[in-house]
Each structure stands twice: as C-alpha cells, then as structure tokens.
A and B are shown apart, each in its own frame.
Chain A
C-alpha cells in the first residue's frame, strides 16, 4: 500500500511538471527534500537519546511494572475472556505501558507475545478472537503519553512552544482510545447477535 502511494506521489508529480512546465522546481524539490529529511533526522537524535535514556531508568527502576499493576483492574474489564492471572494479561499490560512511554521497539515484541498467548487461549485457531480484536483496537488507537518525536520536529522548526501540543494530544489520544473500545464493543455485540 505504501509502495503504491509513494510511487503515485512521485510519478503524478513528474507528469504534472511536464504539463505545467514546473520541471526546474521539481528538480530542486528532489534535492531539497532529501537534504531536509537528513537534517531533520539529525535533529531528532537529541530528543530521542534523552527520552529513551530516561525511559531506561524508569524501566530499570520497575516503574513500568508498577504502573502495569495499577492499570490491571481496569484492563481486566476490557478483556473479560482472559483470566486475570493468565500470562496473556501480563504481556498485554506491559505492551500498553511500553506504548504509553513511547518505547515502540519494546512494545512490539511484547504485543506479539500477548497475541501468542491469546491464540492459545482461543484453542490455537487461526482466526481472531474477541480479545485479540480488542487488543488490536487499543493498540491502533495509540496510547502515547508524550509524543517525543513530534516535539523534536517542532523544536527543529523553531516552534515558540514545542510542547504545547502535549495536552491536546493526550486528550485526543484518550478520545481515540475510548472510541476504539466502544467501536470494538459495538462490533462484538453485533457479531454475537447474528451468530
């Protein structure tokens, strides 16, 4: 899918340039675009290093585990088919915590582990269970607490207040997660009514 979009953007742009006579602008855009991307990534290093450093301390101090146990009662209600002491619940919680703190690299393997456990709970079938869909819905709605990369980009472009989007992002994330849970529930009840 990305492949098609990527090629379409470039190809349509070049065809448009032929018709519009904007070839010189397009030439410039190719080199400027590449240069800007690299400059941006270098600028991202500062925040990413600092934030991931901080998160490592939080992880080593057991803060993420502690938070997970705090959230357990709430999350248990979201997954009524998963027994509270089942390893799946542990992985689901750790995955959520890692996502909250922007540790995408740590979140993915934990999420896969959670999926494995959920698959076993579902008798090893190759179809998605109710809990799996709920887990995915929550994951795709994003749980980020601090959008570090976005803050870094804003700093790069000299924002007067790079962090002023944190509050609105939190509210928006909360809304989208809530919506994800409700949409998931709606589809579940629709399925069960039919079958």
Chain B
C-alpha cells in the first residue's frame, strides 16, 4: 500500500518536470503555451459556478431540513451489513447522471466529513474514477444521430457500478475502514 501513496506523491511533480523539459526540447514557447492554456482554466472555473450553486443549495436544504438524516436511517442497516457507507449513496446515484451535480455532492461530502476522512476520500476517488454515462451517451449519440442505442446504456451503467464497487474496495484497503 505504501507504493500507492508514493505514486500519489511523486506522479504530479515528475509529470510536470517531464512536460516542461520535453516541451523545451521540442522548441515549444513553454511560458506562452502555459498562459494560453491557463486562460481556459479560468473559463471552466467560472462556468461551473451556476451548476455548483444550484446543487449545493439543494443539498444544503435537504440536509438542514433533516430529510437526509431520515432517509439515511432508513437505508443504513442494509448498507452497513455489506460495508457500504450510506453517506455515499446519493453521490453514487447522481454520478452517472450529471458530472457537475456530482461535483457539488463530492465537495459537500468533503466539506461535511473532512477531506481526510474515509467518506471524504471515498467521494474523491469515486468522483475521479467514473464518468457521466448519461452525458456521454446523449452528447455522442445525439451529435451523430444514433437512435437505437443497443446495449450501450446497460453497459455504461454496469461499468459505473463496477467503478463504485472498485472505489469502495480500494479506499477501504488503502486507507482502512471508517
């Protein structure tokens, strides 16, 4: 397990160093390219504000009213028996449907439980290791006019389920249980 932690720590600095040196070798105007690409980062960060505001308000209301606690209590016994923390369920449901909504839920879970808690880490891994099936499906198939999707939705959702299970298992192994 120490290898996984070491990879986490080393991967980003090494990747950055490699990109910079490789870019210099290939005679890329590195600093100008960097600032050009960076501008897009501002655009993305600003453009997700409305999505996050909408989703975080809805989740906050849901939690503050006591509704979240109520539904959690309903499903808790069953999920605890198979080792799934109930707090993660709303995120797991919304992850295949909307990427930005899931991002809102992930940040909410991290804010409430703490980034270094079991739930916080699980939410982080879950957010990173699956993608928005419905979005990919509608955009890609919609753009080229595919009407009969065949098994695509089934395959996509089953793959999401596999990703969720993998996330829970791996986070439990690496970071220990709650």
Contacts and interface: CB of A to CB of B under 8 A. Distances in A.
A166 to B, nearest CB: 4
Interface in B83-102: 93-94, 96-98, 101
B155 interface: yes
Contacts of A9: 58-59, 61-62
A51 interface: yes
B78 interface: no
Contacts of A164: 5, 8-9, 121
Nearest to A56: B37
Given A53-B35, A62-B26, A150-B106, A136 B136 contact: yes
A61 B107 CA distance: 34
A115 B144 contact: yes
Contact of B65 (A13, A137, A191): A13
Contacts of B81: none
Contacts of A158: 115
B59 A33 contact: yes
Interface string A22-41: 10011011101110111011
A132 B144 CA distance: 11
Contact of A139 (B40, B65, B140, B163): B140
A70 interface: no
Main DSSP-derived SS at the A contact region: helix
- Name, among B20, B61, B134, the residue most crowded by chain A CB atoms within 10 Å (CB to CB): B61
Interface in A49-108: 49-63, 105, 108
- Name, among B12, B29, B46, the residue most crowded by chain A CB atoms within 10 Å (CB to CB): B12
Given A128-B146, A166-B7, A187-B151, A136 B137 contact: yes
A2 B144 CA distance: 23
A167 B7 contact: yes
Nearest to A159: B115
Interface in B10-25: 11-12, 15-16, 19-20, 22-23, 25
B155 A187 contact: yes
A52 B40 contact: yes
Contact of B57 (A30, A147, A162, A183): A30
B41 A119 contact: no
Interface of B: 3-9, 11-12, 15-16, 19-20, 22-23, 25-26, 28-30, 33-42, 44-46, 48-49, 52-67, 70, 93-94, 96-98, 101, 103-104, 106-107, 110-111, 114-116, 120-121, 124-134, 136-137, 139-141, 143-152, 154-156, 158-160, 162-163, 166-167, 170-171, 174-175
Interface of A: 1-2, 5-6, 9-10, 12-14, 16-17, 20, 22, 25-26, 28-30, 32-34, 36-38, 40-42, 44-45, 47-63, 105, 108, 111-112, 115-116, 119, 126-128, 132-133, 135-137, 139-142, 144, 146-147, 149-150, 153-154, 156-173, 175-177, 179-180, 183-184, 187-188, 191
